[in-house]
Each structure stands twice: as C-alpha cells, then as structure tokens.
Amino acid sequence: MRTWWKRTDEARSGEGVDWREAEEFVRLHHAEVPSAGPVEARLREVAAEIEQTGTYTHTLDELTFGARVAWRNSGRCIGRLYWQSLRVRDRREVDTADAIADECVAHLREATNGGRIRPTITVFAPDRPGQRAARIRNDQLVRYAGYERDGEIVGDPSHLGLTREAAALGWEGRGGRFDVLPLLIEVKDHVEMRELPADAILEVPISHPHYPWFGELGLRWHAVPAISNMCLEIGGVCYPAAPFNGWYMGTEIGARNLADTGRYDQLPVIARRLGMDTSSDRTLWRDHTLVELNVAVLHSFAEAGVTMTDHHTEAKRFMTHLEKEERSGRVCPADWSWIVPPLSGALTPVFHRYYDDVALRPSFTHHRGL
Amino acid sequence: MRTWWKRTDEARSGEGVDWREAEEFVRLHHAEVPSAGPVEARLREVAAEIEQTGTYTHTLDELTFGARVAWRNSGRCIGRLYWQSLRVRDRREVDTADAIADECVAHLREATNGGRIRPTITVFAPDRPGQRAARIRNDQLVRYAGYERDGEIVGDPSHLGLTREAAALGWEGRGGRFDVLPLLIEVKDHVEMRELPADAILEVPISHPHYPWFGELGLRWHAVPAISNMCLEIGGVCYPAAPFNGWYMGTEIGARNLADTGRYDQLPVIARRLGMDTSSDRTLWRDHTLVELNVAVLHSFAEAGVTMTDHHTEAKRFMTHLEKEERSGRVCPADWSWIVPPLSGALTPVFHRYYDDVALRPSFTHHRGL
Ligand code: HEM
Ligand code: HEM
C-alpha cells in the first residue's frame, strides 16, 4: 500500500538517545568499515557522551555511513543499486532559516550539476534532548503551488495546503500551473519562508518525439526530486532536516504527478489531442495515453540532458542490487507495492518475486507531526 | 507479493473437524441468515455428529452460504461485488474419476452458458477423518499444454509439469500451442486421466480492432477461468475438489498469460508487427505493445459474445464492493499486490488505498501437497 502514514512513528525530539540504538549502529559501522578502528573504544566514548548530554555526536565517517545505509534500508526505493555513491553534505552546524535556505539552494545546484544529477543529502542539525532542531515543511525542496479558485484547481492539487500556508505567511503566488513554492522552514516555534532563486531550479518542458502539438500543452517538471520532510535516523539520533535527492524514474512524473486524477490529471486532455476513442474504459484509452505521456517525459529529459531512468532499466538494476545484497549476506528490505512501478507492473522483473519488508536502521522515517 | 505459497497450510485430511471452526461457521451462518432458524439446535446437532463421526454434514443452505462467503473472503479477488450470485452445484455424493470428470464438463457447459458466463462452483466430496477425498491436479479445468523440444518451449511454459504428468499417464499431446490438457484426477492413491470434450470448451481467437494481421498470430484463449486446485474450507470441513469460475478480467490474459516472459511471451512478436522501435527499453515499446495486446483481448471477447471485464470497470466495481461491505459492518480482506491490476496500476482507484489483509473463514486455500 502506498500512503506513507502506515510506518510513521511519533517524533522523538525531547527524549534522550536510546543507548541500544547507538550501540547497534556503532557496531554495524565498525563491522562494515573495519578501517574505523576498534569498536570498544568508540562505544565507550559514545556511552560517556550520552551519559553527560543525553545524546552524542557522529563522526563525519559515521554520518556518511549512516546516511548511505539509511538509503540502503529504504524499502520503498527501487533506486538503491548506487547507495554507496551518495554524496553527504555535512551541515550540522547550520540551524538558522537563512543559512538552511542557502544550503538547500547550494544542494540543488550541486545535485543538479547541469543535468548530470548526483544523489546527494544535506544533513542539518539533529534534535537534542529538550532542543527541537529546524525542520523543512515542504515535502520536497521543489514543489509546485496549487490554487483553488471558484472550485477549480490550478497547479498541483497535492500542494493546496502548503500553498495556503505560504500565502498565510505573505507569499503571493502568480496563480500559474507550475509556480515553485517557497521553502517553509520551522525554526524554534515559528515558520520562516524563503524563496528559491529561479536559477537554482532546472526544469524540463515536456514534448513528444512524434506529436509536435504535445509541447503546446505547456507541461513541465523539475529535474531534481529532493525529499525534504523525512527524518534521517542514525543510531538513535534524529536529523529532522536532511533533504536528499536521486534522479527521477520517468513513471513518477508520467504515471503519477502529471497523470493521477488527484494531481495534474492530464490524460483526458492528451487523449483528446491524440484523437482517442474515450467513449468507454474498454478502449483502454487511458492506458494508451499513459504510455504516450511517459514516452514524452523520458524523451524530454533526454533532450534536455537531464538524468532520468525508465522503469524497465531501474527494475533490472534493482534485481542486481538484490543479488549484491544477498551475496553480502544482508537482508534487503523491500515493499512490493512501492517497488513495483505504477505502469506495466507485471512487465518488470520486480513484480514476480517476494520481498522481506523488515524495518532496519539507520532509516528515513516519516514522523507524524514532524 | 504474487506467488501463492505464502498463505498455504498443510493439508489436514486425516484429522477430525475442529469444533471451534464448526461453531464459528454455524454462528456466522445463522447471524447472517436469520431464516436458518435457532442456532443452538443446529449447534447441538453438529456437535453430536462430530462426536460420533469426527466430522459433520453441511446442509445445502450451509454449503451455499459457505461457498459464497469463501468468495467474499478471497482477499486476492477483485471480482467480489457479485459474491451473492455464485451458483453452487452440490455434488458431494460424487467421488469417482468418471463422475467427477462428467461433472466438470457439466460445470463448464453451465458456466459457459453460450458466452454469458455464470460464476459457478461445483463442490465434490469433502475429506473425512482417515478418508482423503478426490482432488483435481490441474490448477484450472482448462489449461494449455507446454512441451519442451530441443530446448524450445511450445505452448504454455507454466504447464510443462502438468503436461509431463499427463504424458506419463499415456496422454499424447499434438504438440500445438493451445492443446487443452486432460483432467488429472487423484482418487485414493492414484491419478486418473480424463479428456475434456472439445465442445465443452469455448475458446476465443484473438484479433485486433485496427490491425488485420493480428489474427495471423494465431493467439487464442479459453472463455472460462475455473480454478480447480484450491480447497474450499467451510466450518472446519475441507472440500479439496471444488472448482469455481468467474469471468476473465482482460489483463489476466493480455497482461499475464500471453505477455509474461515466463508464459507465451508475445510482446516481442507483436512489437515487430507493430513496427515498434525495440532498440531500447526507453522507447517503452513493451508498454505500448502491452496496451495493444490488451485492446485485442477485450475486443475479441466482445466480438465473440463472451463475458469479460476490463480492469478499470472491475476496479470501480471493487470500490463499490468495499463500500457495501463497510456499510454491512464487515471487514473486507484484500491483498494490495493482487487487487491492483498488472497494467496501469495507478490509473485504477484500488491502487490509492490501504486494505485489511486478514484471513477470514470460510475460505479458498492452497494446500501444500494437495
Ligand atoms: C538515484 C536515483 C534514485 C531513484 C531512481 C529512486 C527511485 C525511487 C522511487 C521510484 C521511489 C518511489 C517514489 C514514489 O512512488 O512516490 C523512491 C522512494 C524512496 N527513495 Fe529513492 N530513488 C533514488 C535515490 C534515492 C536516494 C539518494 C535516497 C536517499 C538517500 C532515496 C530514498 C528513498 C526513500 C526514503 C523513498 C520512500 C519515500 C517515501 O516514503 O515517501 N532514494 N525512490
Ligand atoms: C465474477 C468474475 C470474477 C472476476 C472478474 C475475478 C477476478 C479475479 C482476478 C483478476 C484475480 C487475480 C488472478 C491472478 O492475478 O492470477 C482473482 C483471484 C481470485 N479469485 Fe476471482 N474473479 C471472479 C470470480 C471469482 C469467483 C466466482 C471466485 C470463487 C467462488 C473467485 C475467487 C478467487 C480466488 C480464491 C482468487 C485467488 C486465486 C489464487 O490465490 O491463486 N473469483 N479473481
């Protein structure tokens, strides 16, 4: 099943670090990275620091390893083959709205990399006992506004709430279909708003390799999917602001964001232009149109020189990942309903097998009331 | 996940009926069907019979109710809206291979109904303590043979084993792509083979509404999907031979049986005829071809006057079913990975919600070593 609230936990800021989680992580790190040195010495350090302060500070090595393993443990992510290549930007000293916004912009620029997208995470300050760190309210760094006017929705319907919040803070959207929302950053007990500079956001206009009219639909999407509202949990420490990105798999845009009736709902519009017979579901006009939209998305990203994967390629890569994990003697947690692509599920090898859906740590977690 | 062995139980023939299961069922029946009379009297009867014989005999009412509720409880079935209309053929007195084969033929004829397919179940003798009833080894009444010749497979690869078994019993397949296998019926400790008469099996040749060459591919499929290797469990009693059928949802044939690389694997063939660019997965030629194959399947069944549903319609019906069940105060068990269709999953409303995946009784069960 596909809504995120199943696996949520209550946020745990305020409490001290659970020693068992810290120990489990430190032992994992030293087991997988022998060059980290003797584990007992590090465990004594960590224990002493927790004793004194209720928490402890990860070394840069631990942070990097923890973030990468959190990705490796993300049971919903089909893109995990390259988990070891995650670039980790350590910004734990950063905790003001201005500095956080600046670093998000820097993250976007470095991750975008002129189109050759680099999987990247920026880790801001962790929660500490009695001290709630900053959070980003946007679910991704780049999100399009949604406006309701006279019962009609313009833009992305799934961001009506975020748009309303921004408006309440004084944001004036232009009322367009693809207006990038400002960042809403929670610091202490209030929310601050920061606009993202347009030149930090690469976008791709959607066209079709065979239908010249497709471009006239005015569809576009941003190049970098950077999830910004999940908590990175490493060894009992919560990093509530830790935006991370990979590159897009085409179906995320073509079979969900632009297609879902609760999102941009473009299939009826495209079907009309394609001249499809929409008189009955049985003509499969939706299925046919969906394929054309996905062809357009993949084509447009390629034309723009922006990294994007298709679901066939990515499913094969994931099978390779599973084999590698198995050879390493590790369980690979995976959630069938998220791993199987929303388009032509049974055509991909990931459809035809069973997975362990265990929760391993470190992890990315949706906290209720984050 | 989609393989059936997750939920299997060991077969339980040999043991007596569990009184708690019998009681639970009788109470359910009387609660839902008040006209069944006072429950306590019936419970005393059942208890006495179990005491004496180790099992008990369902009334025709109980059998009918039990079979329908087993369908209602089938978490993997999207077609449950009409569960109350299941036709129940009581053939519990039938237990020889000849009579079972005859009744399977009669089932096919009645269920086929000239194309206006009727959901039907035929219930043969139950297991009794120390007395294993007959079983049908074929997973469906109508199955196509698969032959391996010089490393090439002709026919349905998923029935190589069944075909080999039939051959060992003396069956001589014609070596074609769509040869209907004989029934393999287990009685006592041996397996008997019975051919199905050709005129009991309605088949549909597959053609496409726009591409005349499609018919030249020589594809066809049978009209009635009748699962024959699941055990119907009612109130502690196991009916191991209880073939049941609905009508097909197009994707079962178009997105699985004829498309899977482990089945008829027709996409490369069709794509070539369509002139698709198969040089890269990114052209989505598989996805495109899959839609055309599914269009062909739906079209052909309609042309032939054979009941078939499409995944959009059936998903909507299932949403109606869920609402009705909720209004009745019942939990509706459902397994996301089976309910969501293998084609354009996210286009159907069933994709976008969460289900209870509880095991309720009565039920249809795959028994290991059935
Ligand atoms: C490198 C390319 C990557 C690809 C192609 C990829 C692909 C995907 C896809 C298709 C999903 C499902 C999204 C949905 O259906 O809404 C997903 C989910 C997820 N991915 Fe990845 N991913 C990539 C990189 C990453 C990275 C770098 C991380 C973390 C460091 C990550 C962590 C996750 C997590 C936590 C989820 C679940 C999100 C949620 O619960 O809402 N992925 N990924
Ligand atoms: C009336 C039309 C029906 C439709 C359209 C329908 C549709 C489906 C579909 C699409 C599946 C998944 C098949 C697969 O992916 O392999 C399924 C599974 C199932 N259906 Fe139905 N069904 C119908 C009638 C019935 C009836 C009459 C029964 C029993 C009385 C039934 C019991 C089941 C069961 C037990 C499964 C799971 C099979 C397994 O575990 O292998 N269905 N159904």
CA-nearest of A230, A209, A178, A207 to A67 is A230
Q: What is the CA angle B219-B221-B225, rounded to 5?
A: 160
Token pair for B275: 């002139």
Close Cβ partners of A347 (under 8 Å, ≥ 6 residues apart):
A312, B259, B267, B286, B287, B290
Q: What is the model's pLDDT at position B21?
A: 97
* pLDDT (0 to 100) of residue A2: 46
Do the chains contact at B346 and A286, CB–CB below 8 Å? no
Residue ID of nearest Cα to ligand 2 atom 39: B4
How far is residue A350's CA from residue A319's CA, in Å, rounded to a whole number? 7
Whether B2 has a pLDDT exceeding 50, the answer reads: no
Question: What Rg value do the Cα atoms of chain B yield, rounded?
Answer: 22
Tell how far the Cα of B70 is from the centroid of ligand 2, in angstroms: 11
How far apart, in whole angstroms, are the C-alpha atoms of residue A7 and residue A356? Answer: 15
How does DSSP assign B220-257, residue by residue?
A: EEES--EE-S-EEEETTEEES---EE--EEHHHIIIII
CA distance A345 to B256: 10
pLDDT band at B14; cut points 50, 70, 90: low
* Tens of pLDDT, residues A264-317: 999 999 999 999 999 999 999 999 999 999 999 999 999 999 999 999 999 999
The residue contributing the CA closest to ligand 2 atom 8 is B77
* pLDDT at position B12 over 90: no
The nearest CA of chain A is from the CA of B351 a distance in Å of 8
pLDDT at B1: 40
Cα B46 versus chain centre, distance: 30
> Would you say A234 and A70 are in contact if contact means Cβ atoms under 8 Å apart?
yes
Task: Let me know: does B125 contact B134? Beta carbons within 8 Å.
Answer: yes
Q: Best substitution site from B76, B121, B122 to test ligand 2's pocket, by max atoms within 8 Å of Cβ?
A: B76
Evaluate whether A141 touches A243 at the Cβ level (below 8 Å): yes
Q: A310-327 burial, b for 16+ CB within 10 Å, e for fewer?
A: bbbbbbebbeebbeebee
| A102/A89 Cα distance (integer angstroms) | 13
Sign of the Cα pseudo-torsion (B241, B242, B247, B249, in order): negative
pTM for the complete prediction?
Answer: 0.95
For chain A, the maximum distance between any two Cα atoms, rounded to a whole number of angstroms, is: 72
Active-site residue A5, yes or no? no
* B355: closest chain A residue by CA: A1
Average pLDDT over every residue of A353-368: 92
Query: Does any ligand 1 atom lie closer than 6 A to the CB of residue A314?
Result: yes
- Report the percent of chain B where pLDDT is more than 70: 95
Coil vs helix vs strand at A127: coil
Res B352: pLDDT = 96
> What's the pLDDT at A369?
52
Q: What's the confidence (pLDDT) of residue A14?
A: 57
Residue B208 confidence (pLDDT): 98
- List Cβ<8 Å contacts ≥24 apart for B204-211: B204/B300, B204/B301, B204/B304, B204/B306, B205/B300, B205/B304, B206/B258, B206/B296, B206/B297, B206/B300, B207/B296, B207/B299, B207/B300, B207/B303, B208/B292, B208/B295, B208/B296, B208/B299, B209/B295, B209/B296, B209/B299, B211/B273, B211/B274, B211/B292
Residue A104 annotated in active site: no
Cα–Cα dist A216/B41, whole Å: 74
CB contact at 8 A, A144 and A159: yes
ipTM value: 0.94
pLDDT at A246: 98
pLDDT one-digit tens code per residue, A206-242 = 999 999 999 999 999 999 999 999 999 999 999 999 9
- The H or E element spanning position B187 is strand B183-187
With cut-offs at 50, 70 and 90, classify the pLDDT of residue B146.
very high
Length of chain A in terms of residues written: 370
Which is catalytic among the residues A103, A165, A192, A252?
Answer: A252
Query: What amino acid occupies position A46?
Result: V
Q: Distance from B231 to chain A by nearest Cα, in Å?
A: 23
Residue B15: what pLDDT? 73
Q: What is the pLDDT of residue B366?
A: 94
At position A112, the amino acid (one-letter code) is T
What percent of the residues of chain A are helix, what percent strand, and what percent coil, each to the nearest 5? 45, 15, 40
Ligand 2: distance of its center to the CA of A24 in Å? Answer: 45
* A–B CB contacts, 8 A cutoff, strictly below: 116
Q: From the CA of B123, which ligand is nearest?
A: 2
- Looking at chain A, the whole-number percentage of residues with pLDDT higher than 90 is 94
Does the annotation count A338 as an active-site position?
Answer: no
pLDDT of residue A6: 39
Q: Tell me how far apart the alpha carbons of residues A243 and B306 are, in angstroms, rounded to a whole number.
A: 53
- At residue A7, the pLDDT reads 40
> Which of chain B's residues have a Cβ under 8 Å away from the Cβ of A263?
none
pLDDT for B38 = 95
Residues from B in contact with A at Cβ < 8 Å:
1-3, 6, 255-256, 259-260, 262, 267, 281-284, 286-288, 290-291, 294-295, 298, 302, 310, 312-313, 336-337, 340-347, 351-355
| Mean pLDDT over each residue of chain B, to the nearest integer | 95
- The yes-or-no answer on residue B80 being catalytic is yes
Among the listed residues A71, A77, A137, A192, the single catalytic one is A77
Q: What is the pLDDT of residues A338-357, one digit of tens each?
A: 999 999 999 999 999 999 99
Using a pLDDT cut of 90, give the percent of chain B over it: 94
Most B-contacting residue of A299, A308, A335, A347 (CB-CB within 10 A), to test interface: A347
Q: What is the pLDDT of residues B276-293, one digit of tens each?
A: 999 999 999 999 999 999
Contacts of A165 (CB under 8 A, 6+ apart): A137, A184, A191
